[in-house]
Structure 1
Amino acid sequence: MTEVVAERRVDASTDGVPMPQRLWAILTIALGLTLAVLDGGIANVALPTIAREVNTSPANSIWVVNAYQLAVTISLLPLSSLGEIYGYRRIYQYGFVLFTCASLACAMSSSLATLTAARVLQGFGAAGIMSVNSALIRFIYPRRWIGRGVGLNATVGSIASALGPSVAAAILSVAPWPWLFAVNVPLGVLGAIIALRALPDTPRSGIRFDGASAALQAIAFGTLLFAVSEMGHGDSWRHVSVELVVAAVAGGVLVFRQLSRTAPMLPVDLFRIPLFALSVASSICSFIAQAIGQVSLPFLFQHHFSLDQVMTGLLMTPWPLVVAVIAPFAGRLADRYPAGLLGGCGMTVMGLGLLAMSLLPEHPTTLDIVWRMTVCGLGFGFFNTPNNRAIITSAPPLRTGGASGMQATARLLGQSMGAALVALIFTAFPDNGPVVALSVAAVAAGVAAAVSFSRLAA
């Protein structure tokens, strides 16, 4: 037993873990990411059914989705900080166990209140998985292969995202909605066992957990997301303004508090590294562009081109599918070429694809749409993997947790802001909202490209 434990231990000087331990570690990382990504969106398909069976309104049923997303967002940075203090493996394991237990609680829920509470717990478990996922890759793979590891993660995430609606529809066609969550239980148990035996130990910072900062960042990010969401849905500007002020004050106090910390929860120390700061900024801009595109395109297909839901789903598939195919290749290139070059070119291509989507003819053919979606996926695939690698590797080894948490937080902030922008655009341009939104998405991709290219001079 001592030999097994010793084999798992990895200090900062070790270049990855040996085979076959590495394969098992990759498997549990991929399994955890798949479950977390699937459950981030799989409930969307079942919302009408859930609302009907728990006797609640469609509007209230949205909390099944919002509760999960909010829990993930406010806990990513605290959990990544705990990973630096107690080891990434332990946080990943606890996250997996909590996610599995919460999935069982979701499956056993019979009311909106209990389901929402279980989804909050599930979100905390998913955050435990996602907050240290990328950090663990740095210690699983040899340094020369980190790009490949990040590429594999991007592939798994893209496939899970693409298959989410299909998996939900398949389960609902043969079983009631609780099985959407029950299927996670055996997979979660398997993943937790593999994580216990295969994931490496990692260096620990030895600092104390900053509970006050955790509370401040929860208030700052939580109220910011509420304000962005309500802004997009046309809520009172008075309410939105109050929430933005609360978020700004909590955020300001948080930043001031973090400036004097050796290993701050909000990684202000890492933002002093130009490559890290620019990579996070380009990540937020890229996910704003991606979210605007993926939220507005179904409306374009169904409302403007009168396509049915099945055809819409099929036409949405090329984008994530191409990302999944390109990501491993982009990962290999990221180990050889600067992230600024690859990411800038990728975002330029994606921006051109989004612009081409906004210029679709009145009666497009399937080929007209598919090649444009393919271009979007090609561009995002070449951007995402090198950019994620740059975020993780630009941080010192002992601050990998902060970098990993910030990477996931940047993605969620970008997606939330993109979705809110779509709602605002649709309100301002009721007759031509999707086309305008795609044009705005192209601009956001252009900004991401400019920021990405600027890393070449950093």
Structure 2
Amino acid sequence: MTAKPTTGGVPLPQRYLAIAAMSAGSALVIIDGGVANVALPTIARDLGTSASSVVSIVTIYQVTLVMLMLPFAGLGERVGLKRTYQTGQLIFTVATLLCFFAKSLPFLLIVRAAQAVGAACVLAVASALIRQIYPSDQLGRGLAINAVVVTSSAAAAPTIGGLILGIAPWPWVFAAAIPFALISLLLGRAIPAPKPRSTHFDFGGAVLCAAMFGLIIGGLESAVHGDSPVISAAIVAVGLVVGWYFVRREIGKPAPILPVDLLAQPVLALSAIGGFLAFTTSMTLLISTPFRLHDYGFTAAAIGAAIMPWPLTNMIVAPVSGYLSDRIPAGLLGGVGMAISVTALTLIATMPADPSYFQVAWRMALCGSGFGLYLPPNARLLVGSAPRERAAAAGGLVSTVCLTGQTVGATLVAMLLALGLGTGSVPPLVSASLATIAGLCSIARLRPSIRNPTKTEVDEGVPTLKQTR
């Protein structure tokens, strides 16, 4: 059988420059998005605000990101992917520089919201640009490389923040990512600039999308942080009503802000649901585990060292998984990955009462390898199965699924902690249950009635069961 010829992509060596530019851009928003966590106590002291109030520096960043991801993906399709990406970098960099002038919490919150606007522009179109950079038969490894950059940047952010705080005031923590912005902008000439679509941008749909996510997530955050249950429930209810109207409004549109046209395909709907559950699972475990280890007597340094095998194994497994996803169906890789993760999560839940470092570390490594095997093929299927003109919408969906899952996972842990169940075996058992459902969603994609390749997949060489048996 003759191999299918490679299609698309940026020619070498320009491709390497484009990959470097995209990697620096991803590192920029991930590092600066996570590096603030370690500086919160210092910021609270210097600005004279309470610890509970200063947490809003993180919350406003996350909520703004989720609200704007899909609208900016739709905007990127119309004004240009590269223009949206680099505009986001400029906004992010300028907002970061404004941190040096923050003398009050309200001003810093405005700056963080502006940073999130820039980050949303970058993340909303990043996957679509990666699809333009790599040949179709290398898309999986391209997304995996980007996933490694994101994972390693997230893992390095607390360490970078701690080192900077040891020698400089807290505004310099936010400046840590500026070199990545300069590198990405300087190398940005190599990033392809596909022709934008000449269609009208649905501003009303964008507002409804932002309102839906903002109200629902804001209401959940409000409830978790001890606000009035009635008011919090009312906010969520309004968000659900807005969401119901928004979804009905989007059905039938040729290029909806919420990609209901893509989610109408069962294989993509299952991928989105599975991705959401996987990110919820991972965040639930990663946030709850430090509390559990603290109760076991682990120091802060020991807790960080015990959790570190998760991102390390993820960084190793993700590129291999991405390479395999160009040849093996995502349903099979995802099913195996979640089976590994469920096993590891069960083992974490049943750890001895006084575990050693090694007993924690190898379980975290096993769990990280399972997620590393699951996530890149899942993203490859979501992005690669969409028509090229809808690649930004598919990429925005991937990022929105990720951020929403992480936000729900953090909220779930806060709820379990409030109920007195967040420091024992309950969080990993809940995570194991969610991972099981994610695995079933992945395996369901192997059914011929669901895993029926679209014309786009056939044209671009996405592997099918028949091709890989």
**Superposed pair shares fold, TM > 0.5:** yes
1:312 maps to what in 2? 303
Which stretches in structure 1 are left out of the alignment for 5+ residues? 1-12
The question of whether the paired residues in 1 share the 8 Å contact of 2:64 and 2:113 is answered with yes
Letter in 2 for 1:280: A
Partner of 2:327: 336
State which drifts further: 433-442 or 319-328: 433-442
2:24 counterpart SS class: helix
- Matched with 2:294 is 302
Is 1:183 aligned with 2:173? no
Cα offset, 1:36, TM superposition? 1.0
Q: In 2, Cα distance between the equivalents of 1:185 and 1:48?
A: 23
Give the structure 2 partner of residue 265 of structure 1.
257
Deviations 1:288-309 (A, max 9, x none): 1101100100001101x11110
Q: Specify the code of the residue in structure 2 equivalent to 1:264.
A: P
Give yes or no for contact 1:232–1:422 (8 Å, CA) kept in 2. no
Q: Which residue of 1 aligns with 2:51?
A: 58
Match of 2:280 in 1: 288
Of the three residues 70, 78, 94, the one matched with 2:87 is: 94
- The counterpart of 1:212, out of the listed 192, 197, 204, is 204
Structure 2 distance, partners of 1:396, 1:111, is 46
**Tell me, what secondary structure is at the counterpart of 2:166?**
helix
Shift of residue 199 of structure 1? 0.8
Shift of 1:205: 2.1
**Distance in 2 (alpha carbons) for counterparts of 1:352 and 1:40:** 31
State the match for 1:394 in structure 2: 385
Q: Note the C-alpha offset of 1:279.
A: 0.5
Q: Is the 8 Å Cα contact of residues 426 and 434 (structure 1) preserved in structure 2?
A: no
Query: Equivalents in 1 of 2:126, 2:26: separation in Å?
Result: 8
Q: What is the alpha-carbon distance in structure 1 between the residues aligned to residue 7 and residue 367 of structure 2?
A: 38
**Quick check: 2:321–2:377 contact (8 Å CA) kept in 1?**
yes
Q: Which amino acid aligns with 2:246?
A: L
Question: What secondary structure is seen at the aligned counterpart in 1 of 2:169?
Answer: coil
1:338 positional shift: 0.5
SS at match of 1:456: coil
- Shift in Å at residue 185 of structure 1? 2.8
Aligned to 1:367: 358
Deviation at 1:135, TM superposition (A): 0.7
Tell me the distance in 2 between the aligned counterparts of 1:230 and 1:55. Answer: 23
Match of 1:5 in 2: none
What secondary structure is seen at the aligned counterpart in 1 of 2:260? coil
**1-side partners of 2:64 and 2:405: how far apart?**
16
**Other-structure match for 1:243:** 235
* Structure 1 pair 183–164 and aligned structure 2 pair: CA distance change class (3 A): closer
Aligned: 1:445 with 2:425: no
Q: 1:39 offset after TM fit, Å?
A: 1.8
Q: What CA deviation, in whole Å up to 9, does each residue of 1:210-245 have, x standing for no partner?
A: 111111111100011112223333433211221121
Residue equivalent to 1:10: none
Say how many residue pairs are matched.
Answer: 443
Cα displacement string for residues 185-220 of structure 1 (whole angstroms, at most 9, x for unaligned residues): 34313322322x111011422111111111111110
Structure 1 residue 161 and structure 2 residue 154: aligned? yes
CA distance in 2, matches of 1:97, 1:439: 43
Aligned counterparts of 2:418 and 2:112: Cα–Cα separation in 1: 30
Secondary structure in structure 2 of the residue aligned to 1:205: coil
Match for residue 325 of structure 1 among 289, 295, 316:
316
Distance in 1 between residues matched to 2:362 and 2:49, nearest whole Å? 41
Give the whole-Å Cα distance in 2 for the aligned partners of 1:107 and 1:434: 41
Q: Equivalent residue for 2:462?
A: none
Which residue of structure 2 lines up, in the alignment, with residue 174 of structure 1? 167
Moved over 6 A (4+): none
**% of aligned pairs identical?**
38
Residue 354 of structure 1 is matched in structure 2 by 345
> Comparing 225-234 with 125-134, which one deviates more in the overlay?
225-234
RMSD, matched Cα: 1.4
Q: 1:384 aligns with which of 369, 372, 375?
A: 375
Using the TM superposition, give the Cα deviation of residue 312 of structure 1 relative to its aligned residue in structure 2, in angstroms: 0.5
User: Are the counterparts in 2 of residues 28 and 191 from structure 1 also a CA contact under 8 Å?
Assistant: yes
Contact 2:283/2:406 (CA < 8 Å) preserved in 1? yes
Letter in 1 for 2:384: T
Query: What is the CA–CA distance in structure 1 between the aligned matches of 2:14 and 2:225, rounded to whole Å?
Result: 48
1:183 counterpart SS class: helix
Within the candidate set 72, 83, 104, 1:79 is matched to: 72
